[in-house]
Amino acid sequence: MDKILINKHIIESNAFVNSADNLKGSGKYLLGIAAADERSLNSKFGIRYFFGGNNGIDEYSVKVDESFQSISKVCPAAKMYEREIYDLFGLTPDGHPDLRPLMLYPENWNSSVHPLRKDYNNSIPEMKRYGEYKFKKVLGEGIFEVLVGPVHAGIIEPGHFRFSLAGEPVLQLEIRHFWKHRGIEKVCEGKDFKEALDLVAKISGDNNVNITISYLEAVESILNLEITERAKYIRVILAELERIWNYVRDVAWIFMDIGFALPAQSLFALQEELMKLNKSLTGHRFLFNALTVGGVNFNLDSSKLKAIDNMINKVEKNIKECEAFIVNSSTVLDRLEFTGKINKKTAEELSLCGISARASGLPRDSRIEFPYLIYDKFDLKPALLESGDVFARTALRIKEIYVSKKIIGDLLFNLPEGDIAVAYENRTEAYKYAAGNSETPRGNAFFYVMADNDGKIFRLKYIDPSFRIWPSIQYGVLGNIIADFPLINKSLNLSYSGNDM
Amino acid sequence: MGFLSKLLFKNKTQSIVSGNSDSVLIKGDELKRSVDEVFGRSLFVRLVDGGSCNACENELAALSNPYYDLERFGIKFVASPKHADVIMVTGCITRNMLNPLLKTYENIPAPKFVITAGDCPETGGPFKDSYSVCGPVSKYLTVAMNIKGCPPEPEAIISGFLKFMDMLKTS
């Protein structure tokens, strides 16, 4: 399988607003926007827009000085990317409707310091208040606010949610994220491809295999490296195992949040068994460090294959029982149906991906749209539901566990012989770049990696599915009662760390 | 056996005791005795994630699955810092999370203890050189104990709690 094909176009900034509109009309959707400080190359900043669609990925690149034309008004999904570029690079998106700081908080960061510029001198502003973050207010009689987080009641990552309510129904939800902004993209710069693996795995620990696959797609494409068939098979097996344990956990949390502890605990136990299987396969419960540049770090012998086979059969059996439970219980359906509905139109405008898109009727699955590794060998069809509610997202996860089980089952006893990793020379052309993508349990993970002439990373941009999907919750909760928010949140189960980076 | 009856009558927590002297339950029994002795039967923990990769949170959540069921040993993760004896910290401590972390700590009534879980809060992990990371935790708070691991496995966390109790008893 060839690396994903990217159709490259060079554009003038001002013309792009119109073409972005046309693109959307032609069924293409925004995958991400990546900026890079290329002033050492051509004394300009490069901004690259990536659009996905039926014919692969289109890249539109534009060279800019200190500002560029915002496309947020025609393409709302661009809003967050443009705010991010404004924060980290200090480039102004002209015409952007909302330029509040995103990850560099005015509470502790001086807004004139832009850490992703190459001339940033590593000076870190003193820890003091530089400004105020303004939340959107809903005004009117009887309207009150409920503030949640950043530190939450349970064992959850930090994020701030601000509800405006009149009685029980939610009138507005505003999310403030990026509490966990760790500056991973900057830390990766100057590291070689192998060193960065450790950081890439820790973008979002529970999706690390799939995210690493996306990173390696980009890196191996820069290095012109073709890995062995066996390594590809093992990567896919691990990716699908990760998908299964993620989905089992997600469904368990749905039950937990509707107060149905019995099936929830049964699924948590199943998750634990899957983690133990991971440990027995690679020595790590989350499969950290299982993949490497040029292949994988460990082999699957017949006893391990047998263990995987037993486990996935067990998962299928348990999940079937669980599924019957959902469909036959009116109290479960009562909580799940019509809750947290995300319309197809909203999903389209926000360029959603993964389960969230498929539950709202958009057939987006990177394994099918932009196949990588050996996914083109399976005749995969996107699992689709139209209703866009919590029920749809739960039911889709259950459906897709069967799909993953079938993929693993097909591969297990057909593993081709061969080495698990190939040697490579860490040499790159200066400013050569490539994109990589993969379908994580949450959706499309997109990497854009640019090398320097020394085999090191010049610029790395990662777009997590959670980054795209988080804004959609603000629409999903409208009109729902606040008590259903945890359930709606869990039905999307997004990563805070992947979003915040 | 029907789905419900299987859930009710197949007890997963007991099935891992046999033969393994290092098992969760045996560690847990010791832990329960220590918690009873030192904290009058219950140790309440408030978690603050200061910038982890979420693997640590997954492992902490796993502590309440049927295999480990931490609450039977008297240890409970609580919603409010006002209820807590211990603040457990994960992650590398980002600039944005420093203030919430310190505020949460302030709101825990004394005597209070800081336990870190994972390598990041102890050293900053791979993120330590980042512009937006200001950890490790020990720069700001006195840390009673570090539970190592990336992420620490559930059994390591249970052992960690046990070690923490021993420390309190001897000091």
Residue A221 falls within a domain, yes or no? Answer: yes
3-class state of residue A316 by DSSP:
helix
Query: Is B133 within 8 Å of A182 when comparing Cβ atoms?
Result: yes
For residue A22, give how far its alpha carbon lies from the nearest alpha carbon of chain B (Å): 38
**Minimum Cα–Cα distance from A187: chain B residue:** B130
User: How open is the CA angle A210-A214-A215, to the nearest 5 degrees?
Assistant: 115
A80, amino acid identity:
M
In sequence order, the 6+-apart residues with CB closer than 8 A to the CB of A118 are A37, A39, A40
What is the CATH classification number for the domain harbouring A208?
A: 1.10.645.10
For residue B75, give how far its alpha carbon lies from the nearest alpha carbon of chain A (Å): 14
Residue A10 falls within a domain, yes or no? Answer: yes
Rounded alpha-carbon distances, angstroms, from residue A27 to A22, A53, A125, A336, A362 = 9, 6, 44, 31, 11
CB of A25 less than 8 A from some CB of B: no
Residue B141 falls within a domain, yes or no? Answer: yes
Residue B23 falls within a domain, yes or no? Answer: no
A313, A318, A320, A321: CA torsion to nearest 10:
150
Residue B29 falls within a domain, yes or no? Answer: no
For residue B151, give how far its alpha carbon lies from the nearest alpha carbon of chain A (Å): 9
For residue A55, give how far its alpha carbon lies from the nearest alpha carbon of chain B (Å): 34
**In a 10 Å sphere around its CB, with 0-12 CB exposed, 13-18 middle and 19+ buried, how is residue A53 labelled?**
middle
Query: Is B80 within 8 Å of A153 when comparing Cβ atoms?
Result: yes
Cβ proximity of A203 and B53 under 8 Å? yes
Residue B8 falls within a domain, yes or no? Answer: no
| A183, two tokens | 């500056």
The whole-angstrom separation of Cα A18 and Cα A74 is: 8
Cβ proximity of A192 and A455 under 8 Å? yes
Same-domain check for residues A193 and A62: no
Q: Which of A108, A263, A324 sits opposite B96 (nearest CB)?
A: A108
Structurally, chain A folds into a number of domains equal to 2
**Minimum Cα–Cα distance from A195: chain B residue:** B126
Query: Is B57 within 8 Å of A158 when comparing Cβ atoms?
Result: no
Same-domain check for residues A194 and A313: yes
Residue B3 falls within a domain, yes or no? Answer: no
The whole-angstrom separation of Cα A255 and Cα A243 is: 19
Residue A190 falls within a domain, yes or no? Answer: yes
Beta pairing partners, A450: A433, A459
Partners of B133 on chain A (C-beta within 8 Å) are 182-183
The whole-angstrom separation of Cα A202 and Cα A291 is: 13
Q: What number of C-beta contacts closer than 8 Å exist between A and B?
A: 152
Predicted local distance difference test score (pLDDT) of residue B36: 76
Structure letter (DSSP) for residue A169:
B
Q: What is the pLDDT of residues B124-136, one digit of tens each?
A: 889 988 999 998 9
Cβ proximity of A357 and A347 under 8 Å? yes
Residue B114 falls within a domain, yes or no? Answer: yes
Task: Note the ipTM here.
Answer: 0.89
Q: What is the CA radius of gyration of chain A?
A: 22
Nearest to B44 by CA among B23, B66, B26, B70: B70
The whole-angstrom separation of Cα A258 and Cα A485 is: 11
Point out the residues of chain A with pLDDT beneath 50: 1-2
Residue entry with tokens 């949140």: A489
What is the CATH classification number for the domain harbouring A89?
A: 3.30.460.80
Cβ proximity of A135 and A174 under 8 Å? yes
| B156, two tokens | 């390591």
Q: Which domain holds residue B131?
A: 44-170
Q: What is the CA radius of gyration of chain B?
A: 17
For residue A430, give how far its alpha carbon lies from the nearest alpha carbon of chain B (Å): 25
Q: Which of B53, B60, B61 sits opposite A204 (nearest CB)?
A: B53
Same-domain check for residues A345 and A454: yes
CB of A450 less than 8 A from some CB of B: no
In sequence order, the 6+-apart residues with CB closer than 8 A to the CB of B85 are B39, B43, B44, B45, B108, B111, B112, B113
Partners of A442 on chain B (C-beta within 8 Å) are none
Cβ proximity of A105 and A177 under 8 Å? no
**Minimum Cα–Cα distance from B97: chain A residue:** A179
Q: Which of A156, A208, A324 sits opposite B57 (nearest CB)?
A: A156
Q: Which domain holds residue A68?
A: 6-134
Same-domain check for residues A79 and A210: no
Query: Is B7 within 8 Å of A262 when comparing Cβ atoms?
Result: yes
Nearest to A424 by CA among A239, A288, A199, A222: A222
Residue B101 falls within a domain, yes or no? Answer: yes
What is the CATH classification number for the domain harbouring B132?
A: 3.40.50.12280
B160, amino acid identity:
G
For residue B168, give how far its alpha carbon lies from the nearest alpha carbon of chain A (Å): 25
State the CB neighbour count (10 A cutoff) for residue A346: 18
Residue A169 falls within a domain, yes or no? Answer: no
Predicted local distance difference test score (pLDDT) of residue A286: 93
Residue B27 falls within a domain, yes or no? Answer: no
Nearest to A73 by CA among A135, A12, A20: A20
Partners of B58 on chain A (C-beta within 8 Å) are 205-206, 249, 286
For residue A68, give how far its alpha carbon lies from the nearest alpha carbon of chain B (Å): 26
Q: Which of B49, B53, B64 sits opposite A158 (nearest CB)?
A: B49
Residue A173 falls within a domain, yes or no? Answer: no
What secondary structure does DSSP assign to A176-215, as a single string?
A: E--TT---HHHHHTTSBTTTHHHHHHTSSGGGHHHHHHHH
Q: Which of B12, B57, B100 sits opposite A151 (nearest CB)?
A: B100
Same-domain check for residues A268 and A415: yes
Average pLDDT per 10 consecutive residues for chain B, totaling 171 residues: 60 47 65 75 88 92 88 87 93 92 92 92 90 90 92 89 82 73
CB of A156 less than 8 A from some CB of B: yes
Residue A253 falls within a domain, yes or no? Answer: yes
Query: Is B66 within 8 Å of A265 when comparing Cβ atoms?
Result: yes
CB of A180 less than 8 A from some CB of B: yes
Predicted local distance difference test score (pLDDT) of residue B5: 66
Structurally, chain B folds into a number of domains equal to 1
Residue A168 falls within a domain, yes or no? Answer: no
What sections of A223-300 are H helices per DSSP?
A: 229-257, 261-282
Query: Is A288 within 8 Å of B150 when comparing Cβ atoms?
Result: yes
- What is the pairing mode between strands A443-451 and A433-440? antiparallel
Partners of B12 on chain A (C-beta within 8 Å) are 269
Partners of A199 on chain B (C-beta within 8 Å) are 126-127
**Minimum Cα–Cα distance from B124: chain A residue:** A182
| B144, two tokens | 């009673």
Same-domain check for residues A349 and A472: yes
Same-domain check for residues A224 and A100: no
Query: Is A180 within 8 Å of B55 when comparing Cβ atoms?
Result: no
Same-domain check for residues A279 and A368: yes
Predicted local distance difference test score (pLDDT) of residue B11: 58
CB of A178 less than 8 A from some CB of B: yes
Partners of B52 on chain A (C-beta within 8 Å) are 157, 180, 205, 497
Partners of A183 on chain B (C-beta within 8 Å) are 127, 130-133
